[in-house]
Structures are given as C-alpha cells and as structure tokens.
C-alpha cells in the first residue's frame, strides 16, 4: 500500500511540474481527459445554444466455431446484437449536465457538474467508472469487442467491464495532469449491487501526460461486499503512446475479491490509422483467475480488427479473435456496422 501511495504522489508531483509548461489546456486533444469537463468540447448536433445531441445505432453479427459463448456479457447467446444510444449534453456554465439514454440500460448516465474553476469540477449522479483503458462506448473502441472476454474466469466479462454507478466525484484536470476521487454506491468488482445503505465504494485515479501523445494512468477502487465482511479491490495501470497515426498501449489489472478469488490480466495493443478511411488493430490479452489458492484458470486472446470509415458518420468493422486455454480453442468472427452522429 505504501508503494501504491508513493506512486500516486509521484504522479501528482509530475503533473504539477508539467502544469507550469505553457500552451496546454483541458480543451486540447493532446492532453489527458481524466477529470476534464468533456461536455464543453464534445461534438454533437446543436439543439439551441445550450444543448447538444449525439448518439449511434450499432449492429453486430458474429460467428464462433464451436457454438459456446465467450463474448462480452451483452453479446452472449445472440448471433446478432443491436444497440443504440442518445446523449443530451447541457451547458449552463459553470453548471453542465449529461443524460445518456441506452436501449439496454435505460439511463446509462445522468449526472450534473459544477465547475468551481476551469480545472476543478464536482460531478454527481449516475456516472461510468473510470478505471480501465477501454471505453464503455461502442463508437470509441479499437476493436469490435473488449480485450477481456474469454474463459479465464466465470465472471471475467463482468469485473473487467466499465460499470454505471451512482455517487459524487471530485475531478481535477489541467490538460497535462488529471485526478479523480469518487464516493460511489458500488463499483462492480464482484457485481453485488451494493447501495449506500449497505456499503460504499471509493475510486481514485491519476493521470499524467508526460508530453503530447504519452500518457500514464494509475487507478484504485475498493468496494464493500454486503454478503461478506471483506472488501474487494481493483488496481489498474495503463500506458499509451500515440505518435501521430500509431497508438501503442499496455494495461495491467489486479483484483482481490471478497469470495477468496484473485485475478489479474494484461493487454498489449497496437493500432495504426493508415488513412482516414482505414485503420487496423492487433491486440493480445491474458486473463488469470484463482479461487481459494487453487483452480487457477488462464486464457490467452489474440485479436485482429480491420476498421473502415465508410463516411464521416458510418463505420464498418471486421474482427477475428482466437482464444485459448487449458480446455479448448475458440475462433470468433465479427461484422459490425455503426452509424453515429
């Protein structure tokens, strides 16, 4: 724990040092987004002076060689999958708000934000968790699926996913350094659905953009388990380097869960945008799950994704993934069409 706190302090010191460099602000794309007020800079259809609308319609077809299900939790048991999303963004600065309506979850996010300064914000309401390299939105992924699906753990596709939680957060972002501290009703590490009457989760994350294109993030989450006296924890670390058209990323997670289970994973990702029309992603991920000091289950997954921007608002993506563990090998094919605005 002392090493963990020392690393956070190092990030904070580095962020404060970079903050004194001229020319960086939260609005620049080459800065970190952690803790930033992204409502102000988001693209969308203007519905008057203070409201923007954005959204997407997503359709996926997939095939697997043996018929078993090792997809994202929301894809299991389907040969096709359709989803949609509508986001309303409100700007009454210094007060902003967002409402995200999803076909599957209803109110995915609904939160307000008060900006005390350009860098310091308080958000409250239903928000997505911050730990993890991959986004919760289909429109911002480097592949069709997330990295951590497979047979490494029974609930592997649950505790690796972003979750929507209720709570309040303190957010700081000056472009080169971002920081988030949240008090939440649960975090979803064990997917127990705790609420504020039975327990509470905390979320802590820091990010440093060492120079434009090179970012490091470290995060920690702890949640109470209403079924156990033990807490569950997640530690997440990722590094990303984005020199022009190339993106390289490394991620590591470690989980201590209240049911005497432990898990860890890692991801290596390379994406290259050959042109405005075509990009490709090669990704490797490993998951390892251990229960009561035994029953160690691990899996390896390799993914190749071909990404085509047919028009400014219509993408077609192909993915092939191969997952292997001690019991079997699985091959998956995906075809995705997504309209976004």
**Residue-level pLDDT, tens digit, the chain, 341 residues:** 444 334 333 444 344 333 333 222 222 347 899 999 999 988 889 998 899 999 999 999 988 775 444 444 444 445 888 889 999 999 999 999 999 998 766 788 999 999 999 999 999 999 999 999 998 888 889 999 888 875 443 444 445 678 899 999 999 999 999 999 999 998 877 654 444 445 689 999 999 999 999 999 999 999 886 665 678 899 999 999 999 899 999 999 998 876 677 888 999 999 999 999 999 999 999 988 776 666 677 889 999 999 999 999 999 999 999 988 777 788 889 999 999 99
Three-state secondary-structure class, residue 7: helix
Number of helices followed by number of strands (H, E) in the chain: 2, 17
Q: Where are the domains of the chain?
A: 2-340
Three-state secondary-structure class, residue 140: helix
Residue that is written with structure tokens 């962020």 in the block: 15
Three-state secondary-structure class, residue 78: coil
The C-alpha angle with vertex 204 and arms to 126 and 220, in degrees rounded to 5, equals 110
Contact by Cβ (8 Å): 237, 217: yes
- Cis ω on the peptide bond leading into residue 173 (within 30° of 0)? no
Alpha-carbon distance of 239 to 215, in angstroms, equals: 6
Contact by Cβ (8 Å): 255, 234: yes
Alpha-carbon distance of 247 to 182, in angstroms, equals: 29
Just give the CATH number of 2-340: 2.40.160.10
Contact by Cβ (8 Å): 178, 32: yes
Whether pTM > 0.85 for this model: the answer is no
Alpha-carbon distance of 280 to 248, in angstroms, equals: 12
Whole-number pLDDT of residue 199? 66
Alpha-carbon distance of 248 to 93, in angstroms, equals: 36
| DSSP character at residue 168 | E
Its sign, for the CA torsion 226, 183, 134, 112, is: positive
Alpha-carbon distance of 112 to 13, in angstroms, equals: 29
Pairing of strands 278-291, 177-184: unpaired
Q: List alpha helices for the chain, DSSP H.
A: 2-18, 156-159
Q: Which two tokens stand for residue 273?
A: 């945008």
């Amino acid at each position: 724990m002392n090493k963990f706190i020392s690393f956070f302090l190092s990030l904070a010191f580095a962020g404060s040092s970079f903050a004194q460099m001229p020319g960086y602000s939260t609005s620049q794309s080459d800065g970190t987004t952690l803790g930033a007020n992204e409502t102000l800079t988001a693209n969308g259809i203007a519905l008057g002076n203070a409201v923007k609308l954005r959204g997407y319609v997503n359709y996926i077809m997939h095939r697997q060689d043996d018929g078993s299900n090792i997809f994202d939790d929301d894809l299991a048991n389907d040969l096709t999958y359709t989803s949609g999303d509508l986001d309303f963004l409100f700007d009454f600065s210094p007060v902003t708000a967002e409402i995200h309506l999803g076909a599957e979850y209803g109110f995915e996010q609904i939160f307000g934000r008060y900006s005390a300064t350009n860098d310091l914000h308080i958000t409250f309401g239903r928000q997505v968790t911050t730990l993890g390299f991959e986004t919760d939105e289909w429109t911002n992924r480097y592949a069709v699926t997330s990295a951590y699906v497979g047979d490494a753990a029974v609930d592997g596709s649950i505790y690796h996913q972003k979750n929507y939680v209720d709570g309040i957060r303190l957010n700081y972002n000056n472009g080169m350094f971002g920081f988030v501290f949240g008090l939440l009703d649960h975090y979803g590490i064990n997917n127990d659905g705790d609420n504020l009457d039975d327990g509470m989760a905390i979320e802590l994350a820091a990010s440093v953009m060492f120079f434009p294109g090179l970012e490091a993030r470290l995060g920690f989450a702890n949640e109470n388990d209403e079924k156990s006296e033990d807490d569950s924890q997640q530690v997440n670390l990722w590094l990303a380097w984005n020199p022009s058209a190339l993106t390289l990323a490394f991620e590591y997670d470690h989980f201590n869960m209240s049911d005497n289970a432990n898990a860890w994973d890692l991801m290596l990702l390379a994406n290259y945008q050959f042109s405005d029309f075509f990009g490709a992603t090669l990704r490797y991920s490993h998951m390892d799950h251990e229960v009561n000091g035994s029953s160690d289950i691990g899996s390896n997954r390799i993914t190749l994704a071909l990404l085509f921007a047919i028009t400014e608002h219509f993408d077609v993506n192909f993915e092939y993934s191969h997952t292997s563990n001690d019991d079997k090998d699985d091959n998956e094919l995906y075809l995705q069409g997504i309209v976004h605005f």
